[in-house]
Amino acid sequence: MAVMSDPIERCDVWELARRGRVVEGELAVKDAERLAEQVADGEGTLRFRFSGLIDERGRAGARLDVEGTVQARCDRCGGPVEVPLRERAQFYFVDDEGELGRLPIDVSPEEPLLGSHRFDLAALVEDQAILAMPISPRHADCTASDADGTGPRPDGRTRRPFEALAALKKRKG
């Protein structure tokens, strides 16, 4: 039974930071277009928690926690494989695009974001989920074995997933 999820409301990050407010919610994978393109199907939901704060340097910021489970595509057999996602990041907000461009490269873990009174939180949650996606998801007990040529090559490099998939289709056909 599909439950309609409300669109995530845009939020005022300046107020969120100043008041230390927290926005919590869920984003269905199927509603996250860019993420949905990278997974085997749109099953699953991302839970998030966006916590406003003033950081130790006095800047308006927020911490974002995202977690959930998606159906990624196995790099070896092409089938769906359940992957847990968990990502935490801290941001600080800047006033305008120009300021964002002038910021020196910073080694601190906090990332600058363009602040807004109508901030697109859903897009940020999606960005973080995409970052958390494994580069090469695989079944722990994948049935496509190394012996049939889909595993690592003798030169130590792994075949590209689409090659493995093409090889698989050829054998079946």
State the residues that interact with Zn ion by CB under 5 A.
Answer: 74, 76-77, 139, 142
At closest approach, how far in Å is the CB of 139 from Zn ion? 4
At closest approach, how far in Å is the CB of 141 from Zn ion? 8
At closest approach, how far in Å is the CB of 78 from Zn ion? 7
How far is it, in rounded angstroms, from Cα 173 to Cα 170? 5
At closest approach, how far in Å is the CB of 150 from Zn ion? 9
| Residues paired with residue 158 on neighbouring β-strands, in sequence order | 152
CB-based contacts of 106: which residues, under 8 Å, 6+ apart? 112
**Considering beta carbons, is residue 17 or 165 the nearer one to Zn ion?**
165
The angle at the Cα of 166, spanning 162 to 171, to the nearest 5 degrees, equals 150
**Considering beta carbons, is residue 112 or 151 the nearer one to Zn ion?**
151
Torsion of CA 141, 142, 145, 151, to 10 degrees: -110
Q: How many beta carbons lie within 10 A of that of residue 78, not counting itself?
A: 18
**Considering beta carbons, is residue 5 or 143 the nearer one to Zn ion?**
143
**Considering beta carbons, is residue 57 or 153 the nearer one to Zn ion?**
153
How far is it, in rounded angstroms, from Cα 10 to Cα 22? 13
**Considering beta carbons, is residue 74 or 113 the nearer one to Zn ion?**
74
At closest approach, how far in Å is the CB of 6 from Zn ion? 35
Query: Which one, of 119, 102, 144, 156, lies nearest residue 21 by Cα?
Result: 119
